Every structure is written in C-alpha cells, then in structure tokens.
Amino acid sequence: MCLFITVFPYLSGQAKGLRQIDRNDLRAYMNFLASDELQGREAGTVANNIASVFIESNLRRMGIEPPYGNGSYLQHFDLTSTRIVKTSLVVSDAGGARIFSTDSVVTLMGRYGISETSGELVFAGYGYDDTRTDNSDLGDIDIKDKIVLVMTRNPAIADSSGVNAGYVFDEKAEAIKLLSLIMREPKAVLMVYDPKNSFSDPWESGLADYFLDTERTSLLEDQSEASLPGIYFITGMTADILLSPAGTSLKQFQEMIGSMKIPCSTAIPGIRVSIDSPPETREYTASNVIGMIEGSDPVLKNECIVYTAHFDHVGMASDSTIFNGADDNASGTAGLLEIAEAFRSLRKRPLRSVVFAWMNAEEKGLLGSEYYARHPVIPTDRTILNINLDMIGRSITPADTGDFFGTPLDVTGPNEIQVYSGNIKNEFRKQMLRSAGKAGLSVLEMGEQMEFGSSDHQSFAEKGVPWLFFHTGIHADLHQPEDDTSKIDFEKMEKAAKLAFLTGYRIANSGRQ
C-alpha cells in the first residue's frame, strides 16, 4: 500500500503531461513558424524577432515563469557579422607586375576584419599527415605566414579507382587537414579538387552554391579574438597557373606523389599571391527565449535540466527564395513548446527546476547556446542534463538517397529516432530508453560524434554538462527550400516530444546526484 501511494502521483503526473502533447498543436505551431511570412527566421531579421515574440507570447499564455527579475523571457546578446560578397585572387611576379587575376574563388572562411592578404606561395600536396607511414605533406616545409595550396582527399583515396570519385567536400576529413594547416599559421589556405576527382571546380560540384555570400558571425564580446587564416576554394585552371613557375602542373604533382609514395611539397618561386575579400560588417542584437519551472524540492530546485531547441534558420536567398526550415528547426521549437506546456500541466512541479531555452543564431555557429552557456539561468555546474531537440520531424522518403556534402543521408523510419549523448550517466540512459518504449519509438544510439555538423548541445558539452540530443537524421531537404511543413511526420514528431518530456520528467524527479 505504501509503495502504491508513493508511486501513484509520479505515474499520474507523467500521464497528464503526456496527454498534453498533441500532434494537432504541433501542426498549428509549425504552420506559423515555418510559414513564408516568417521568411526563414534568420537571426538579426524582423522575421526572427517575430518568431521570438511568438514563443514568448505562448510562454505567457501557459503561465511558464520568466527567469529574469524584470519579467522578461528574452536573453539578449550582441553579434558582429562580416559578409564576403566577392573574392578575387591576383598573381604577381617578383617585381610586382601582375601576371594573372581571377574572381573564380569561393570563400569557405574569410579572414576576420582583414580585407587583403598577400604572401609567397607554397604547394603542400594533399596537406595530409599519413600516420601509417609518417609521410607528411607538411613535414619538411614551412608554411608560416605563407599562402599554402592543397588538394582535396588524400593519396590512398585518390589512387583507389572509383572511391569518392565524385567527391564534393567531406567536412570531417577536410576539417582534420585544415586544423593541422591552421596550427602552422599560414596567411591563407587555397584548396582545389585533386585532378583524379570527377569535379574540376566548386561550381561544377555545387560547393560554390553552399558557400555563396560567405558570412562569419561571432559574439560581439569575442570580437578581439585573433584572426584565423582565410580558406578559399579555387579552380583547377587557377591552380595550374599558380604552379607554372615550378614547371609542373597539378596533375603532374599528383602523379609524382602517387608513384614515388612520398610528399612533393615545395615553395613556388618568383611569384606573390594576393587575395582580396572586402567585407561588409554589421552589428546587431539577437535574443534567446528562456522560460522555467522552479523545482518543488527546497534543495534539488537549485539543480536543473535544460531543454534546448534553436528557432532560427537560414532565411532567404538573394533571389527571395525562402528557406522555411520546417524540420530544421521549427520541429524542435514546436516540440519544446508542447514539452513546456506538458510540464506546466503537472499537478506537482518536478523536484528539480526545468529550464526551457529556445536558442537563436544556431545556424551562425551555435552562438545563442554559447552565450547561454556563459550566462546560464542556473550555473552549468548545477545543470545535470541538457536535452537538445533539433530536426525531430522527418521520416525517410524515396527521395532520401545519396549524401549531403560527403555525408550519407541517414533519416530514420517512422518509429525510429537517433539519440546522440555525451558524459551521460548510465541511469539517465536507462530512463531515456524506458521513456522511448513508453513513447513508441525505437532508439538508435549514435554515440557522441555526428557525421555532419553539430547542434546546441555542443555548447553545454564544452562546459562539462551531460547531454542527450534527439534527432531524426539528415534528409535530402536539409538547408533547401523543400524543407517544408508538408513533409513533416506529425505522428512521429508527437512521439519524439513525448520521449523528450518523459526523459526529462523522470530525471528531474530522480534522487540526489
């Protein structure tokens, strides 16, 4: 009898919360958040501000508590943004006479606050460190304060017939190479498709479209950070012109590396390369939207669980095409609104406090969550878990084949969800799996590392906070105008929101940590 009395309020409480989460409510939220009127919700726009007011208004309607003494739900933060519209490259001889110039250059990452960069040129093969043979393209050459040219992929992949022949850009593989290059402090990095690739330039592969009008945004409080080298993608023809003073073409260099099995890195004599990327800079304010429910236990209320979902997306293209971002991430935004209302409907508040945080500027580089992690409502050392919702609304369709910039599409089935996690306690994992069974979803445990990109949980991970990330996978419409409400699986989205609610509810009511 005592056991029944103890457990009954817990069971009835979670049942009441589950009933609050409804696919029709989710659809109503989504129809507004992913509408053309919100113009893609890009941070720093009026449409993004309207989205934040919409979230705030719903929190007031629900009776969710504001975390700030002035009654506001908005956490403002200042951003500075540098946009690169056009990049040009000029090659001069030792006397300063112009030899060649082109604006067929794609900026992957511009130099922060610096318009023009010039220096001597160094060719560094694939820019690859081969840990099996200790052969390093960077081992015997100095690239500090130079402009370094590297090919995509590595010798093993390039020499394997048919493997990644149509390689676009493997973010993970190239990021490792670029990090190694950046640590050696070049002035700039030039990348080019290796000649064995089926693509010769970034326009043919579509890479140029993805990095069109490159913009770098950072928190204003970080504006004094040291400038990193610019990273630029050039055509095979431009690379051959740059290498011509050495009497060798890019193809010949690749063949030498393949046949000799050793690096062929070298300084290119007698020329100087200048890269001009005039920036357009602006400063603006964006806002996270934060609500909370204070815990009922006088001690445990000083700890919290933080739910996060970013509400911004990538806005509009220059031709006014709207990227509505239904799955990414109106789905997580709507799901979190339902979760907040589920907690608010409980007869008894959970033992621990629960914070609901709609993050902004995630698409600019996780900036809203980075700011929150520095300025949390409850200190991060008393945040026992972050539950992040990003893209929880899609199920696999016949169109979801192929890859997204080198990463295979992995969108899940109607009753499946991916769960990434880090620094998680085994008891938390068990609670999550039990909750999945109750919600009617099969969990695919993915580990810590995503194959492509990241999300707001990363800002909490860097503070040592345990985290769970719910995600339905990468689909063919990611960052495309076709990511629309018509393709959302609302039944699955309801299950995902119930899974996230149950997981947080159970952990918020668990014993002392």
Q: Are strands 116-123 and 383-389 parallel, antiparallel or unpaired?
A: unpaired
DSSP string for 214-236 = -EEEEEGGGTTSPPPPEEEEE-H
Over residues 439-449, mean pLDDT: 96
Helix (H, G, I), strand (E, B) or coil at 333: helix
- Predicted confidence (pLDDT) at residue 502 exceeds the cutoff of 70: yes
Q: What is the pLDDT of residue 113?
A: 65
pLDDT band at 223 (very low <50, low <70, confident <90, very high): low
Q: What is the pLDDT of residue 5?
A: 36
* Interhelix angle 236-243/250-260, nearest 10 degrees: 80
Residues near 171 by beta carbon (within 8 Å), at least 6 away in sequence:
405, 406, 407, 452, 453
- Predicted confidence (pLDDT) at residue 171 exceeds the cutoff of 90: no
Q: What is the pLDDT of residues 8-40, one digit of tens each?
A: 344 556 888 999 999 999 999 999 999 999 999
pLDDT band at 281 (very low <50, low <70, confident <90, very high): confident
Question: What CATH code is assigned to 11-79+282-508?
Answer: 3.40.630.10
What are the φ and ψ backbone dihedral angles of 208, each rounded to 5 degrees? -60, -35
Q: What is the pLDDT of residues 453-472, one digit of tens each?
A: 799 999 999 999 999 999 99
Q: Are strands 467-471 and 383-389 parallel, antiparallel or unpaired?
A: parallel
Q: What is the pLDDT of residue 98?
A: 95
Q: What is the pLDDT of residue 226?
A: 52
pLDDT band at 169 (very low <50, low <70, confident <90, very high): confident
Residues near 329 by beta carbon (within 8 Å), at least 6 away in sequence:
309, 310, 311, 313, 362, 389, 390, 391
Distance CA 355, CA 293 (A): 7
Count of C-beta atoms within a 10 Å radius of residue 479: 15
- Range scoring the smallest mean pLDDT among 30-34, 105-109, 374-378, 481-485: 105-109
Q: What is the pLDDT of residue 13?
A: 67
Q: Pseudo-torsion of CA 120, 125, 130, 133, nearest 10°? A: -100
Q: What is the pLDDT of residue 1?
A: 30
Over residues 110-136, mean pLDDT: 84
Q: What is the pLDDT of residue 221?
A: 84
SS3 readout for 382-443 = HEEEEEEECCCCCCCCCCCCCEECCEECCCCCCCEEEEEEECCCHHHHHHHHHHHHHHCCEE
pLDDT: is 500 or 260 the higher one? Answer: 500
Distance CA 19, CA 360 (A): 29
Distance CA 357, CA 501 (A): 14
Q: What is the pLDDT of residue 224?
A: 52
What are the φ and ψ backbone dihedral angles of 236, each rounded to 5 degrees? -60, -35
Distance CA 505, CA 501 (A): 6
Q: What is the pLDDT of residue 85?
A: 80
Q: What is the pLDDT of residue 84?
A: 83
Nearest by Cα to 282 from 45, 38, 108: 45
Residues near 90 by beta carbon (within 8 Å), at least 6 away in sequence:
98, 100, 101, 273, 274, 275, 276
Q: Is 125 left (phi over 0), alpha (psi -120 to 50) or beta?
A: left
What average pLDDT does the chain have?
91
Query: Is residue 76 within a helix (H) or strand (E), and if so which, with residue range?
Result: strand 74-84
Helix (H, G, I), strand (E, B) or coil at 299: coil
Distance CA 179, CA 167 (A): 20
Over residues 99-114, mean pLDDT: 86
Q: Is 71 left (phi over 0), alpha (psi -120 to 50) or beta?
A: left
Q: How far is CA 97 from CA 246, 264, 269, 270, 404, in A?
A: 18, 28, 15, 11, 42
pLDDT band at 7 (very low <50, low <70, confident <90, very high): very low
- Range scoring the smallest mean pLDDT among 148-152, 215-219, 281-285, 383-387: 215-219
Nearest by Cα to 207 from 173, 171, 237: 171
CATH class of 86-277: alpha beta
Distance CA 216, CA 111 (A): 9
Residues near 408 by beta carbon (within 8 Å), at least 6 away in sequence:
402, 451
Output DSSP code: residue 75. E
- Predicted confidence (pLDDT) at residue 322 exceeds the cutoff of 90: yes
Buried b (16+ CB within 10 A) or exposed e, 266-302: bebeebbbbbbbebeeeeeebbbbbbbbbbbbeebbe
- Range scoring the smallest mean pLDDT among 60-64, 158-162, 461-465: 158-162
Over residues 164-175, mean pLDDT: 75
Helix (H, G, I), strand (E, B) or coil at 57: helix
Q: Are strands 147-151 and 188-192 parallel, antiparallel or unpaired?
A: parallel
For residue 488, give both structure tokens.
């959302």
Domain ranges of the chain: 11-79+282-508, 86-277
For residue 487, give both structure tokens.
């393709």
